[in-house]
Amino acid sequence: MSFIWEGVREAVDLLLHGDPQVMHILGTTLHIAVFSTALALLFGLPCGLALGLGRFRGRGVGVALLNAGLGLPPVVVGLVVALFLFRGAPLGGLDLIYTVNGIVLAQAILAFPIVAAFTASAVQALPGALFEQARALGASKLQVGALALREARVGVFGALIAAFGSALSEVGAVVLVGGNIAGQTQTLASAVLTEVSTGEYGTAIALGILLLGLILICGAGLTLLQQRGSVPRGGVGATRWRAS
C-alpha cells in the first residue's frame, strides 16, 4: 500500500509546485473538454429539441438511434475518425490527425448523442399543453424552442454534465486520434495510461488523483448551477407571449 500513499504525496507535490508538464496536460484536458462539449451542445441541442417537440415520421427511429448512440464504443469512434483524418483520407486535408483539434472533433461526436438524447427526453417529459398554449399566444418556433429549453433546463444541464464528464475521462479516442503525444495531445486520462504502461505507478496515481479531483470540482460546479436553475420562478412560461 506504500506506493498508493507515495502517489498521493506526489500528487500534492505536483499541485503545490505547479509542475509545468502537469499544468500543460491539465490545460489540454480542459481545452478538449470545453470545446468538444460546446460543439456537442451546438449540434445536439437543436437535434434534441426537434425530436422532443416534433411530430413527424421517423421521429421514433431518430430517438432510438440517439439512445443507441449513448453506448457508442469510444475506441471504435476514435478509429473511424482517425481513418477519415489520415493523409489521403476524405478529411486528410484538414490536418487534424494527431492534433488537439482532432481530439475535440472525436470527443464532440461521442458527446453529441448524450446531449441530443438527454435533451429530447427532458423536452418530451414536459406537458404538451404548455407548448400548445405558447403557440396559441403567437409564439414562433424559435420562441417555443427557447421555452422548451428553459422549462427542461434541469435535464439539459444533466446532458451538459454527462458530456463534460465524458470528455474529461475519455482515453480511447484521445489515443487513436491524438496519438497521446507528450507535451502536445496528452490528456490526464491518457497520461495515466502511459505511466502505468511504463511501470510509473506513483506518477499514474498522482495524475489519477488530479483527474478525479478535476471531475469532482467541475461536476459539483455544474450541479450547483443545475440546482439553481431548477428553482421555480413562478408563472407559466407560455404567458410571456401575447397574440399580436
Q: What's at 235, amino acid-wise?
A: G
Q: Indicate the helix (H) or strand (E) that contains 114.
A: helix 100-124
Domain ranges of the chain: 10-230
| CB-based contact 100:184 (threshold 8 Å) | yes
Taking only the tens of pLDDT, the chain with its 244 residues reads 676 777 777 777 777 777 788 888 999 999 999 999 999 999 999 999 999 888 888 888 999 999 998 988 999 999 999 999 998 899 999 999 999 999 999 999 999 999 999 999 999 988 888 888 888 888 888 888 889 998 998 889 999 999 999 999 999 899 999 999 988 999 999 999 998 888 877 778 888 888 998 899 988 988 888 788 665 554 445 444 544 4
Other C-beta atoms lying within 10 Å of the C-beta of residue 143: 16
What is each CA distance from 224 to 41, 116, 119, 218, 219, in whole angstroms? 19, 22, 19, 10, 9
Give this prediction's pTM: 0.86
Q: What is the DSSP string of 137-153?
A: TT--HHHHHHHHHHHTH
| CB-based contact 115:160 (threshold 8 Å) | yes
| CB-based contact 211:33 (threshold 8 Å) | no
Q: What backbone phi and psi angles, to 5 degrees, belong to 157?
A: -65, -35
Within a 13 Å sphere around the CA of 37, how many CA atoms are in the beta-carbon half?
A: 23
**Distant-in-sequence, close-in-space partners of 213: CB < 8 Å, separation ≥ 6:** none
Distance of CA 6 to the CA centre of its chain: 32
Task: Specify whether domain 10-230 bears CATH 3.40.50.150.
Answer: no
What is each CA distance from 129 to 16, 125, 134, 180, 239, in whole angstroms? 55, 12, 9, 51, 12
**pLDDT for position 231:** 59
**pLDDT for position 5:** 77
**b/e 209-238 (16+ beta carbons within 10 angstroms → b):** bbbeebbeebeeebeeebeeeeeeeeeebb
